[in-house]
Amino acid sequence: MKIPRDDNRLASASGDDYEGLINENRSEVKTRSYNPITNCFLTMLAFVQFSWIHHRTEFILALVLAGSVSLAVTGVIEAYENGQNVNVRKHSFSRDYTDLKSTLELKLGGVDHWCLDGSDSRCPQCEDPTHPSSRSHSQHWGDTYVRNVKLAKDYLSENPAGVDVIFLGDSNTEARVGTFKGLKGEGNLAEVLTKSKHKFEKLFKKKSGGEYNGLALGIAGDSSPNLLWRIQQNEFRDLEPKVWWINIGSNDLLSTRCSEEITIMGILRVVEELMAKDDGAIIVINSILPVAVKSSMSLEGKYIHNKYWYSINQVNQNLQKFAKKHPGVKFFDAKEILTEFKGHNLYMRKEMFVDKVHLSVDGQAALAEAQANTVKNILQKKSENDMKVDGNPSKSGDYRNSDSDGSDASSPDWWTEQDYDDFLNFDIDLDGSDDWL
């Protein structure tokens, strides 16, 4: 009860007056208004003051924890890690290469820009994508090329029945014969290369239980003009596979810093060179594999800025469109195999890579199995068309013109549960050189 302001009134009041004074004071209390916002603010201020005076250490730690949780939940930390302030330049080009019919249409005069950064002068190592180029100045490249020639010769003599598929590419292809830059490596690298070779032979060597015979001819660091040179020099020693499998283009973007347009021209120049052989073989263009720029292996999404992924996607989309318009050419998309979504963001599967670029044993195994399934579909279609030709001579026997699996050669049900080797978590020493793919 509120004490009346006039104590004398209460002392001299009779019984009725006393009740009246009490009711009057109650009315004053009920009618008085309180501001809840002000009360809340003053309460918080009092709590902060009390905590600062009596529990200063705990109060500071609580503030740090609250700030850290807020930064993590809002994505600010991930944004910083992925370089939010890095300006990811997105360039485009107007020319359509999907209807290309001949190498004569690959004209450099209409190129929008040569370099990945949108310029024409800041990529001195970017070469003419229409002309072959060797890397004879590199000893490891020359040694590996000679080794590949020997592999092809030995393969021809040891397998008179021929080869079903030849894989042409860079480091991830070279790993399938157990080497990197022509060497078997040491320590963890040697273990990964040995197991990668074993996984490949298990699927593409009939003597080892594989359903098909396959040969991998890759050289770490090769770009499209380098592969073109190797093809023109008959690296595969007149082997005639039923399927040519191309996995090239990463070094065009990452090492020589060529633009997306130049990279596309280089890959299509290789495709046209193989098409000119007119040997009835299917040509499969493997998508350029994902590349990470941060340890989180992020590719795209909120607060994610991968300076290569946009360019890789642009090249892959154009190659896929090209394949759809050209019988005998297929496009194999490895995105579903090697990437995964976490929420709305896309990441590379860490177990599939030993670093930000190179495939792990698991990655090699998963990719090789998906490729084996695609080769199986292609060769089964060929066999069906051959049977049609035998039954009706008027039918065309060129299985490249058939509508096999569509131009997208990837299979959605590529994954089967296997007892893969444990993931080896280490980084390959790239020794600072440019030929690291």
Q: Please tell me the distance from the alpha carbon of residue 287 to that of residue 313, in angstroms, as a whole number.
A: 9
pLDDT at 42: 83
For every one of its 437 residues, what pLDDT tens digit does the chain have, with 9 covering 90 and above?
Answer: 445 555 565 555 555 566 666 666 666 655 555 678 888 888 888 888 888 888 888 889 888 898 888 877 765 665 555 554 445 567 778 888 988 888 878 888 889 999 999 999 999 999 999 999 999 999 999 999 999 999 999 998 898 888 999 999 999 999 999 999 999 999 999 999 999 999 999 999 999 999 999 999 999 999 999 999 999 999 998 899 999 999 999 999 999 999 999 999 999 999 999 999 999 999 999 999 999 999 999 999 988 889 999 999 999 999 999 999 999 999 999 999 999 999 999 999 999 999 999 999 999 999 999 999 999 999 998 888 777 766 664 444 454 554 444 445 543 333 233 332 332 333 333 344 444 45
Run of H or E residues at 58: helix 56-74
Structural contact between residues 239 and 216, judged by C-beta atoms closer than 8 angstroms: no
Run of H or E residues at 369: helix 361-391
Q: One-letter amino acid identity for 200? A: F
Structural contact between residues 291 and 358, judged by C-beta atoms closer than 8 angstroms: no
Q: How many CA atoms lie within 13 A of 159 on its CB side?
A: 21
pLDDT at 403: 46
Q: 3-state SS of the chain: helix, strand, coil percent to 5? A: 50, 10, 45
pLDDT at 44: 86
Structural contact between residues 260 and 131, judged by C-beta atoms closer than 8 angstroms: no
382-to-159, 200, 371, 378 alpha-carbon distances in Å: 21, 23, 17, 6
The two beta strands, 339-342 and 282-286, are unpaired
Structural contact between residues 288 and 316, judged by C-beta atoms closer than 8 angstroms: yes
CB atoms within 10 A of CB 84: 13
pLDDT at 409: 55
Q: One-letter amino acid identity for 115? A: C
Q: Which residue has the tokens 């000119």?
A: 276
Q: Please tell me the distance from the alpha carbon of residue 172 to that of residue 218, in angstroms, as a whole number.
A: 8
Q: Which residue has the tokens 């002068």?
A: 121
Q: Please tell me the distance from the alpha carbon of residue 6 to that of residue 226, in angstroms, as a whole number.
A: 104
Buried b (16+ CB within 10 A) or exposed e, 340-359: beeeebbbbbbbbbbbbbbb
CB atoms within 10 A of CB 34: 6
pLDDT at 389: 65
pLDDT at 79: 55
Task: Delineate the domains of the chain, giving CATH numbers in brackets.
Answer: 91-389 (3.40.50.1110)
Which of 298, 218, 307 lies closest to 260 in space, CA to CA?
307
Q: One-letter amino acid identity for 168? A: L
pTM score: 0.74
Task: Looking at 32-170, list the stretches that DSSP marks H as alpha helix, in order from N- to C-terminal side.
Answer: 36-54, 56-74, 76-81, 139-158
Instruction: Name the 3-class secondary structure at 259.
Output: coil
CB atoms within 10 A of CB 50: 11
The DSSP call for residue 206 is G
**Spatial CB neighbours of 340, under 8 Å, sequence gap ≥ 6:** 346, 347, 349
pLDDT at 388: 74
Q: How many CA atoms lie within 13 A of 249 on its CB side?
A: 31
